[in-house]
């Protein structure tokens, strides 16, 4: 006698549409996340105050610090520091200082100078640099009052510090 023969026919693979594939991937991802959460809980079980999901905190605010003075000569360094002082305190156009604390170029130099002589030397040098570009400027205050913003003042301080550094002053 002969055993009955059966032929197995391979079923054609079922093609899934996009929605079905997304559901399938979603189920796989849910399983992975559950396993990751369980793994985290097991890894932190010995820590008494460990939360299952760590709390995200905002980064601590950074306190600005002054950059080191790039100028190695006294007048150049003083002019650079005075420029930074105007940037931080604000620029004042028509007075030595105002109610908000903004200051003029001469006050910035005097506040940063260690001696009156150093301040006088820096002011004289700054006036020389100003008069190169603005020959009609008689004094630093008159030139400062003619400016419409702090930008030309800051640029003049930069230029003067660079020239003083180059000359070794």
pLDDT in tens, the chain (169 residues): 566 666 666 667 778 888 888 899 999 999 999 999 888 888 777 666 655 565 666 676 777 666 677 778 899 999 999 999 999 999 998 888 888 989 999 999 999 999 999 999 999 999 999 999 989 999 999 999 999 999 999 999 999 999 999 988 8
pTM score, two decimals? 0.59
In angstroms, what CA-CA distances link 134 with 97, 131, 154, 160? 24, 5, 15, 14
- What is the distance, to the nearest Å, from the Cα of residue 33 to the centroid of all Cα atoms in its chain? 37
Beta bridge partners of 97: 103
Report d(CA 20, CA 43) in Å as an integer.
35
């Amino acid at each position: 006698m002969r055993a009955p023969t059966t032929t197995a026919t391979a079923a054609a693979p079922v093609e899934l549409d996009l929605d079905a594939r997304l559901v399938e991937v979603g189920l796989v991802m849910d399983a992975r996340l559950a396993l990751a959460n369980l793994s985290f809980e097991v890894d932190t079980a010995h820590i008494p105050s460990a939360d299952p999901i760590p709390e995200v905190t905002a980064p601590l605010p950074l306190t600005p610090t002054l950059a080191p003075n790039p100028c190695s000569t006294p007048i150049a360094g003083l002019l650079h520091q005075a420029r930074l002082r105007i940037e931080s305190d604000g620029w004042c156009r028509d007075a030595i200082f105002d109610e908000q604390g903004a200051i003029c170029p001469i006050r910035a130099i005097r506040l940063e100078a260690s001696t009156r002589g150093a301040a006088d030397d820096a002011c004289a040098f700054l006036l020389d640099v100003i008069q190169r570009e603005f020959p009609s400027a008689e004094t630093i205050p008159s030139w400062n009052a003619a400016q419409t913003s702090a930008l030309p003042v800051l640029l003049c301080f930069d230029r003067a510090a660079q020239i003083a550094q180059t000359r070794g002053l």
